[in-house]
Amino acid sequence: MEGRFYSKDENEGKNYTNILYMPKVRVSSNINLRLGERADPTVSTFNIVGLPETVGDHKNLIVEFTRLDDGVE
């Protein structure tokens, strides 16, 4: 799973873009997604469980956060 979220630095008040990376996850909710150009927008809540995975030099990586210096739209 990969995602992008925004955060604000408590000291400087500067906004940052953050990248979330979870190499192996399991969705543990009853979620029904409709995808496509004509699908209605839907807001849902779902739960995920991060599972350890070996990625490069990182053994048992569950989640990796990367904070970017510049904002990304």
Verdict on whether the full-model pTM lies above 0.85: no
Sign of CA dihedral 27, 2, 19, 65: positive
Name the residue ranges covered by the structural domains of the chain.
2-67
Give 25-61 pLDDT, tens digit per residue: 998 887 777 788 888 887 778 888 999 999 888 889 9
Q: What is the pLDDT of residue 12?
A: 85
Exposure string over 19-35, b if 16+ CB within 10 A, otherwise e: eeebbeeeeeeeeeeee
SS3 29: coil
Q: 59 with 32: CB under 8 angstroms?
A: no
